[in-house]
Amino acid sequence: MSQHDRYISPFSTRYASDEMQYIFSDDNKFRTWRRLWVALARAEMKQGLTNITPEMVAELEAHVDDINYEVAIEREKLVRHDVMSHVYAYGQQCPKAAGIIHLGATSCYVGDNTDIIVMRQGLELVRKKLIGVLAKLAKFAKEYKDMPCMAYTHCQPAQPTTVGKRATLWANELVMDLNEIDHRLATLQLRGVKGTTGTQASFMELFKGDADKIRAVDASIAEEMGFDSEAVIPVSGQTYSRKVDAFILNALAGIGQSCMKFATDLRLLANFKEMEEPFEKNQIGSSAMPYKRNPMRCERICALSRYLMVDVLNPSFTTGTQWFERTLDDSANKRVAMAEGFLAADAILNIMLNVTDGLVVYPKVVRSRLMAELPFMASENIMMQAVEKGGNRQELHERLRQHAIAAGKQVKEEGLPNDMVDRIAADPAFGLTKEEIAAGLVPENFVGRAPQQVEEFIAHILKPIFDANPDAVEQHANLSV
């Protein structure tokens, strides 16, 4: 069937990686369902259910990956229930074990536990890419730690910083996001076996009221699925609390916030012609204007980040509208909102990896823009020079203010260069030559501790992250810090 006659998500065709798409694929979902059914059967067998045998468990294990989708699809048309359709399909392949598949469980045993497992896989992939972006920013910050540039407050010239120091601002917010992702991974808990309304009543029946055996089943399943034996939610209704989804999507949206800030800054710097994103040899910037070099990658980061940040509302409302032990109006929303939240975060980080790997700096423009404003920045230093030659500090302050206003007016109203240095040199109250003033206009003297701050940030904040995650660094950047 043609793929051009129906809607296909742009996340599938344009934005998200194959790795993230697989994590949220049917194959990964239903194979995880089957792994959970195997884990349940094995745990129940270990706790003494004699109607489950090693032969049955082995049969289930043999068919975890070869899912007979056509059988499940046809069955669902008849029974209108996805979990029972897959129980039936699995049983067709495992006739000896067919009668014990899903024993004691409710649909959320496979549905919710799989969602937790899949989200953990997604967070782990996001985490690796986030560290890759940090590695590239660290390399850039180190290279440009000493290059003075104009810093801005209110998007107006303020005091100088360095190109590398600005990169640490971008990186620091991503470190905050990494910490949040790590917290989510560290506190993620499996739903385990909780029964229809969370009371484990069906398991009390199976194990004749032996609560220790039920707890052991929970612990065994958690371990088999890669969680700590204690990493099972303590209480639940039918589902794990949907606050988990809200927490996770908020963490992903935090990445969107940080990346949008980075991309917006770079778009502004591209307008200033100080920096820009990579621009490929044959890339076309505009269909009408051949000279254009539009920052389309950063614009895409901003667009997808906006989508991701808004997506946070979905699990937030879902959490607040769950009735008592559960209601099903979470399901349709959740399967779209959570998957696309991860796909959006993945897409944003893919673009970030590309952009941060090829950031372009134009040193002469950076210097020129800084020098055009530096006489204003240096006014206090100039005043101190003049005082040393016998000038009156209060009088000089007022004269500097007047010269700055006049020079600014010339720049803004007449489009002429900043002539503040000429004005001061021509004012006998200062007793300074143009050469003496110019000698003090060294940008490197106005950046404070910016270079040292870069070195300290890399050494104390970023390097420990890289040392603890060498595979993520090696995969995404050639870095030595």
183 flagged as catalytic = no
Within 10 Å of residue 207's Cβ, how many Cβ atoms? Answer: 20
Separation in Å, CA 244 to CA 68, 228, 233: 32, 18, 11
Would you give the DSSP letter of residue 190? B
Q: How far, in Å, CA of 426 to CA of 245, rounded? A: 67
286 flagged as catalytic = yes
DSSP H/E element including 63? none
Report angle CA 83, 112, 325 to the nearest 5 degrees: 100
Q: Which of 154, 287, 460, 480 is catalytic?
A: 154
Separation in Å, CA 217 to CA 54, 222, 335, 435: 16, 9, 28, 83
Whether 276 contacts 365, CB under 8 Å: no
DSSP H/E element including 230? none
Q: How far, in Å, CA of 121 to CA of 20, rounded? A: 9
Whether 144 contacts 163, CB under 8 Å: yes
Q: Which of 286, 331, 368, 397 is catalytic?
A: 286
Separation in Å, CA 160 to CA 90, 193, 268, 372, 444: 66, 59, 17, 12, 9
Question: Which residues are part of the catalytic machinery?
Answer: 154, 286
